[in-house]
Structure 1
Amino acid sequence: MIKEAIEYLFNKGTEEFGSLEVEGKTVDVKEVGREMTIHIDDPNTVSIYSQLNDERKREQLVIAKAILPNVVYDRFLESENFIIELMSKFEPTEDREKVLKLFGCIKSEQVHKSMDDGLSQTVTAKKGISTVAEMEVPNPVTLAPYRTFPELPQPTSKFVLRLQDGPEAALFNAGGTSWRVEAMQSIKEYLDEGINPELKEFVKIIM
């Protein structure tokens, strides 16, 4: 969407008169000019600014925000809700499938704590039609929650997966904030590749 907005604003900005509506905001096309700056504010916000005016200031023409789900971290959820959370708010990854498979096999409501060293846990899980077996909970897990624009690949992070009786499960961030830089770089590359080559000399992208 942001690429189309750039081209639309640029084309309108070359007209002599008039205004246009962009995401509910009226923009005077005479103020757009033939230069624009795109600022990647954060992993889910991108702003487009006009060229400098007589007061050496830029007008914010468009702000694009990704519509993202509210992912639950650091709180235990019942298994059914946890499965829905993983399937609806995380991109498919190898570890996501492992966790979903684990929850599909859990038989008992008891999560063994005798084998809990703060990171590793075991659960009683189905093995075949009626037998049960001990299964180790994978940790840490590499997952890709939806945290940036949906047209981009979602950055992955490491999470600690914890289980307790119920069974209930929770995810705790173990990967820091490096995903934010990765997401913003992906936005920049997406715009660099997608903007019409004829407009690139008039558009500056900054982070």
Structure 2
Amino acid sequence: MKWTTAVSKLAEVAAGCEHARTLPAGLVGFQAEEAWVFGSLLGPRREQVDDLTGVGVALAVDLPESDCALFTRPPAGEHWLNAAGLAKLPVRLLFRSGRAPVWNHVVERPVRFWSHADGLDHEVLLQLRSGDGEALRPEAPAPGELRERLDRDLAASLAALARTTRAYDEKRWSPGSPKKRGDALCDAALGYVDLRAARDSLGG
């Protein structure tokens, strides 16, 4: 998609988050508190970005870290995406706990563009459109800080992998399609493998 189109998707994410907050708690299950952009939109402007991975967004939600392991969806995640109107939006959307730092080795030096408290940050979107996102990014974490962050992410990821493995095994022969359970297990495994590799690369 075009660069300007990709940046406009961030405004759509913000609108979806705001809309979800108007719905009954029983329908959405949880709420987004902040939205952070990461990835290629924080780099220099170019004509096109990848349709599937070009727009990276980390949503900080009001759930514990154990419910927001890397690459997984929290309980009621699908319901929330549908209610917010974001299920089919071409955005690489990662759920992150609002009770911990949003960043890690994937969500690298992200920039907040929306929060429930302050709304959409139009200045951030203007700077991204011009290709000056790098100037908005925080400093890279020190190696020790990154190791600590990945250790916490790994703990949440391992718990998610154990939980989804049990769920898949317990219901393996139950009636109905096992696709959702299989997808959840795959997502948890991918997150753990990715985190394990990143943590091992740091040593210590």
Report TM bin, short chain: under 0.3
Tell me the TM-score normalized by structure 2.
Answer: 0.24
Q: Which has the higher helix share?
A: 2
- Is the radius of gyration larger for structure 1 or structure 2? 1
Q: Which has the higher strand share?
A: 1
Tell me the TM-score normalized by structure 1.
Answer: 0.23
